[in-house]
Chain A
Amino acid sequence: KAGVTQTPRYLIKTRGQQVTLSCSPISGHRSVSWYQQTPGQGLQFLFEYFSETQRNKGNFPGRFSGRQFSNSRSEMNVSTLELGDSALYLCASSPGSYRGYTFGSGTRLTVV
């Protein structure tokens, strides 16, 4: 059974650019969440989607957005990149409530 797949693995962008990250959940999982991991702030929740609906959003500026498609795949977008957006972005999928969240390997974004 394939795990959570995130692409790309590594990305280098320039300040002011935008970026789109992709996440393919485990087959059959309908919930997809995104997290940002930095050395200073640890793991922080960005948003969660279920059946194409955003059910919760973390305390991030509006430059961070996401969406989920009908096949449960999800994308997140960050516009007008800042140096502080450099982080490991992690996606997790779950079949439903209280049933565990499996993480992908993440996308390492570096903003220069």
Chain B
Amino acid sequence: GESVGLHLPTLSVQEGDNSIINCAYSNSASDYFIWYKQESGKGPQFIIDIRSNMDKRQGQRVTVLLNKTVKHLSLQIAATQPGDSAVYFCAEMDGSNYKLTFGKGTLLTVNP
């Protein structure tokens, strides 16, 4: 039978709404963070990154916020579209070990 997968948090929003996806990271030494989007059958797609010397960074329709005090990262997507439906992963890196550590992901579903 099928293996039991990770229990993914899910977020369901209406088209046009803003979405906020949250991520808690574990390593206080992490100094670089990336958000990825993964659609079924594809590899993770880079969305936006942020270094630990910043609190906020904006891209096209996306904003990443970093709170180092509580080790929390969030991704805000403005005017969410059906094409944004995917699994979103945060990843952290301690620059001295060249290794990305991924969260378990959040499934975003956008309803038209």
Contact = CB atoms under 8 A, between A and B. Distances in A.
A45 B99 contact: yes
B46 A101 contact: yes
B70 interface: no
Chain A interface residue number, banded = 20 to 34
Contacts of A98: 31-32, 49, 51, 95
B89 A100 contact: no
Interface in B72-90: 89
B68 interface: no
A103 B3 contact: no
A33 B45 CA distance: 15
Interface of B is mostly: loop
A42 B104 CA distance: 6
A66 interface: no
B68 to A, nearest CB: 16
A22 to B, nearest CB: 15
Contacts of B91: 43
A28 interface: no
Contacts of B3: 38-40
A96 to B, nearest CB: 10
Contacts of B31: 98
Interface string B33-45: 0101000001111
B89 to A, nearest CB: 7
B25 to A, nearest CB: 14
B101 interface: yes
Chain A CB within 10 A, most for which of B6, B46, B99: B99
Contacts of B98: 31, 33, 48, 50, 55-56, 97
Given A100-B34, A106-B43, A39 B99 contact: no
Interface string A51-88: 00001101000000000000000000000000000000
B49 to A, nearest CB: 6
